[in-house]
Amino acid sequence: MISPIDGPFLTHGGFSGHGIALSGEERRTQRSAGVSDIPVEVWQLARDEDGRDVVLLRDTQGRVLPIIIDVCTAAAIWVALTPDLAKPYVRRPWSHDLMQAMLERLGAKVERGVIDGYMHSAFLATLHLRYRGEELVVDARPSDTIALLLRESAPLFVNDEVMNEEGFAVGIDEEGDQPDFGEGLV
């Protein structure tokens, strides 16, 4: 069961550790032929039955990918999703704001983020940047990728193979609507 998060993050959530064995480039070369990256939206922030913070990503087919994230990054995502509500809680720039400012000063542009792997109970992601005409691909935690992409209004993708293996289809109710996990943020 997943319940919505509807306010500032004042309690401690779960943490999904990272054991990265393959780089983003290695993951891309090992993908199955014909597998593509599909666009997703940040659908909701929620809390699972164990009290862990979860970001729910949804594709255009209604499939949902739940990613457990740490409380600090959940707060950073919440701030980016609801700047008017978050304003009283944010007095100074946060880490993702610093990343955004650094990239801007360097003249780099965030083009997209891709959640492109799942290993040892952790999702893997890459940030795709444009710097001096070249694409740079940087390994990153999915939660940090999402927090930065929201600040940059850049698109997020999930590898179709990852969505098929780790996501789930959300049922449709009698009116043809997808169920809501409560009062979501997006």
User: Bridge partners of 64?
Assistant: 58, 168
What pLDDT, on a 0 to 100 scale, did the predictor assign at position 27? 56
- The pLDDT value recorded for residue 90 is 85
Tokens 């959530």 found at = 13
Alpha helices (H) in 3-48, listed in sequence order: 24-30
Residue 77 has a CB neighbour count (10 Å cut-off) of 28
In a domain, residue 178? The reply is no
Kindly give the confidence (pLDDT) of every residue in the chain, 186 residues in length, as a single tens digit, with 9 standing for 90 and above: 554 554 433 222 332 333 334 566 665 555 555 569 999 999 999 999 999 999 999 999 999 999 999 999 999 999 999 988 888 888 888 899 999 999 999 999 999 999 999 999 999 999 999 999 999 999 999 999 999 999 999 999 999 999 999 999 986 555 655 555 544 443
Q: What is the CATH number of the domain that holds 42?
A: 3.10.690.10
157 part of a folded domain: yes
107 within 8 A of 159, measured Cβ to Cβ: no
In a domain, 149, yes or no: yes
pLDDT value, residue 43: 95
**Alpha carbons 21 and 15: distance in angstroms, whole number:** 19
Provide the domain limits for residue 51: 2-16+23-168
Beta bridge partners of 68: 54
Q: Are strands 122-131 and 134-140 parallel, antiparallel or unpaired?
A: antiparallel
What is the rounded (10 degree) CA torsion for 58, 162, 121, 41? -20
In-domain check, residue 176 = no
186 found inside a domain: no
Does residue 177 sit within a domain? no
Instruction: Round the CA-based radius of gyration of the chain to a whole number and report it.
Output: 16
Tell me if 54 sits within 8 A of 67, measured CB to CB.
yes
Helix (H, G, I), strand (E, B) or coil at 132: coil
Residue 153 domain-assigned (yes or no)? yes
Distance CA 126, CA 14 (A): 22
Q: Would you state the pLDDT for residue 22? A: 55
Q: Report the domain count for the chain.
A: 1
Q: Does residue 56 lie in a domain region?
A: yes
